Amino acid sequence: MRERRIFVTQDEIFDGTIIFSPANLHYLKNVLHFRSGDQLTMFDGKRRYEVVLEQDQEGELIGKICTASEENPDFPVKVRLAFGCVRPGPTEEIIRHGTELGVESFFPLILERSTRRPETARARWGKIAASACAQSGRIIMPKVHDPMKLEAFLEVEDVGSCLIYLAPDQTALPLGMILDVHASDCVTLLVGPEGGLTEQEESLLAKKLRQRRLPPQA
């Protein structure tokens, strides 16, 4: 039988007991049809919990934590994805499939050719990442940053030592060749919106790559 894994927040955990949010309680009871005595795995983005379900004094389901363990990173190489903001549907697909493939953090970028310009990360994005973690077997939740302009993104210290722009240019080097030469335990991939970066944005990026001695575009 396939292992069921549910994401819970720290606000749901109290001294070895999980008091489920209304959404999680509905999912457990009415979708998965779990009952008292059932065992399952929970995770909060950093830790894994083996839980047995019980009923509280009011007859509602709660989770008793049997074991809790810190989890190691899902993958030996951290992959971060910076992408031009697009319509809600494609953005959700980027986060869903990126999470399943092992992306460690997402940087939505507000670029000149972006078709959407949200000011903050939507709550739904975090729920999609949590669901994708549960489906793919990941424990550690990726972080979805607030949308930011390219200038701000290039100043983020968390970008890592290997920033690669996936350029729609026939003269760009193959990605595999760049990774072979510039081995790193943290790689950030930058993908522009439809139409790519503008000349001004490419100039800004090239200047930053030269300053940091980062690999060229792929």
pLDDT tens digits for range 138-195: 878 899 999 999 999 988 765 656 888 887 777 777 777 777 776 677 888 999 888 8
Categorize the per-residue pLDDT at 74 as very low, low, confident or very high, splitting at 50, 70 and 90.
Answer: low
φ and ψ at residue 5, rounded to 5 degrees: -125, 130
More confident call, 182 vs 56: 56
Instruction: Using the predicted structure, report yes or no on whether residue 40 has a pLDDT greater than 70.
Output: yes
Segment 45-57 shows an average pLDDT of 88
Check residue 137 and give its pLDDT.
77
For 190, list phi and psi in degrees, rounded to 5.
Answer: -110, 125
Residue 122 has pLDDT above 80, yes or no: yes
Q: How far apart are alpha carbons 122 and 207 in whole angstroms?
A: 31
Domains observed in the chain? 5-70 (2.40.240.20), 78-212 (3.40.1280.10)
Give the whole-number percent of the chain exceeding pLDDT 70. 89
Indicate the pLDDT class of residue 80, thresholds 50, 70 and 90. Answer: very high
The whole-chain average pLDDT of the chain stands at 84
**CA–CA distance from 123 to each of 44, 110, 183, 201 (Å)?**
16, 18, 34, 29
Lowest mean pLDDT among 38-47, 103-112, 209-218: 209-218
Give dist(CA 4, CA 195) in Å, integer. 41
Q: For residue 1, what pLDDT is reported?
A: 45
- Interhelix angle for 123-136 vs 88-101, to 10°? 30
pLDDT at 213 over 60: no
CB 211 within 8 A of CB 163: no
Residue 217's pLDDT is 53
**pTM for this prediction:** 0.74
pLDDT of residue 139: 79
More confident of the two residues 66 and 119: 66
Q: Which range has highest mean pLDDT (95-109, 112-126, 194-208)? A: 95-109
